[in-house]
């Protein structure tokens, strides 16, 4: 709606710019719209940045845990130490599926066992440097586990700001710009403006605007992959266009007036694994329905976004 109003002003600039008060209000609206975009981009940057850092730290920790545990397992098995063999008996894929807290406990147990038997596993390639690397990877992962608070705080700040910006923009439209348009006394212009302003709640299931010629729309619902519950305030971005919207309380998101073409969608939400969907096709004068299911960052479900085993390594 805001974009449609601004586009309408640009298309009719010659006439509307003759009203100085209207020019001032349009500039205010542009500023509010820009602030809204910047706020959403901050949400995307913080959330995706922390998620990526956490994935990297987790992958590094798992790599060292797997390497050291296998050496200890081999040593324990060769010495018929059944208890230690059992303690070190887990696969790479099992490490991937551990919740964060359990991964830390497992990693610390492996470090303790590897340190205790350091002299016995040095021939297996686990030297002092590798033990140091394992210890550091555990510390790094434990540190990044606390960073989601930063994302949560940033999200709250940004959401609070958006809740102010949007009503301010609507107030400006309704009580100033809407009134000044009628000053032109141009019936065709007024009719065109009313059509542009008819797009009120573009995240609602009702009254979705028809796309303008050459453009289409994308809409869908963001849900939890486990229980199908709606995810509010998820951030959906059309990567190629750098356009972002947030989902409402029913998990709905909506992009209007997207140029026909094929795009990549990225969906980010706090405590969920970022999901990327490729080859989303937008057709002229049509809606593309694209629901998105997100996996919890703490669930045992792995996805293409999750850490995977190193190339060539068997996931048992």
Beta-bridge partners for 258: 216
The separation between CA 14 and the C-alpha centre of its own chain, rounded to angstroms, equals 41
User: pLDDT tens digit string along 60-96?
Assistant: 999 999 999 999 999 999 999 999 999 999 888 899 8
Q: Lowest-confidence range among 100-114, 141-155, 181-195, 291-305?
A: 291-305
The C-alpha atoms of residue 223 and residue 221 are separated, in whole angstroms, by 6
The C-alpha atoms of residue 209 and residue 230 are separated, in whole angstroms, by 23
List of domains in the chain = 1-200 (no CATH), 208-305 (2.60.40.1120)
- Judged against a pLDDT cut of 70, whether residue 316 lies above it is answered with no
Q: Give the pLDDT of residue 209.
A: 53
Q: Which has the higher per-residue pLDDT, 79 or 148? A: 79
Q: How confident is the model at residue 132 (pLDDT cuts 50, 70, 90)?
A: very high
DSSP string, 165-203: HHHHHHHHIIIIIHHHHGGG--HHHHHHHHHHHT---TT
Residue 287, H or E segment: strand 287-289
**Residues in Cβ contact with 170 at an 8 Å cutoff, skipping those fewer than 6 apart:** none
Q: How confident is the model at residue 203 (pLDDT cuts 50, 70, 90)?
A: very low
- Judged against a pLDDT cut of 60, whether residue 298 lies above it is answered with no
CB atoms within 10 A of CB 256: 22
Q: Which residues of 113-138 are buried (b: 16+ CB within 10 A; e: fewer)?
A: bbeebeebbeebebeeebbebbbebb
The C-alpha atoms of residue 255 and residue 238 are separated, in whole angstroms, by 9
Q: Lowest-confidence range among 131-140, 142-151, 203-212?
A: 203-212
Question: Does the reported pTM lie above 0.85?
Answer: no
User: pLDDT tens digit string along 92-117?
Assistant: 889 988 888 899 999 999 999 999 99
Name the one residue in this structure whose structure tokens are 């298309």: 11
């Amino acid at each position: 709606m805001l974009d449609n109003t601004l586009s309408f002003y640009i298309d009719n600039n010659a006439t509307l710019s003759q009203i100085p008060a209207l020019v001032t209000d349009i500039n205010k609206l542009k500023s509010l719209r820009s602030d809204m975009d910047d706020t959403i981009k901050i949400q995307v940057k913080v959330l995706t940045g922390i998620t990526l850092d956490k994935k990297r730290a987790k992958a590094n920790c798992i790599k060292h845990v797997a390497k050291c545990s296998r050496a200890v397992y081999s040593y324990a098995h060769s010495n018929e130490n059944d208890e230690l063999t059992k303690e070190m008996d887990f696969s790479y894929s099992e490490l991937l599926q551990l919740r964060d807290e359990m991964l830390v406990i497992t990693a610390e147990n492996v470090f303790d066992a590897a340190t205790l038997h350091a002299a016995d596993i040095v021939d297996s390639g686990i030297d002092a440097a590798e033990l140091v690397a394992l210890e550091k990877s555990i510390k790094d992962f434990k540190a990044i586990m606390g960073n989601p608070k930063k994302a949560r705080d940033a999200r709250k700040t940004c959401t609070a700001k958006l809740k102010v910006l949007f009503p301010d923009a609507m107030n400006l439209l309704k009580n100033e710009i809407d009134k000044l348009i009628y000053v032109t006394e141009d019936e065709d212009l007024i009719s065109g403006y009313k059509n542009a302003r008819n797009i009120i709640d573009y995240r609602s299931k009702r009254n979705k605007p028809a796309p303008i010629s050459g453009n289409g729309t994308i809409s869908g619902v963001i849900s939890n992959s486990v229980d199908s519950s709606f995810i509010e305030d998820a951030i959906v971005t059309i990567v190629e266009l750098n356009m972002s919207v947030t989902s409402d309380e029913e998990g709905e998101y909506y992009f209007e007036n997207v140029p026909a073409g094929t795009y990549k969608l990225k969906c980010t939400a706090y405590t969920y694994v970022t999901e990327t969907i490729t080859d989303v096709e937008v057709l002229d004068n049509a809606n593309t329905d694209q629901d998105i299911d997100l996996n919890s960052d703490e669930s045992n479900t792995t996805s293409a976004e999750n850490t995977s085993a190193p190339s060539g390594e068997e996931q048992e």
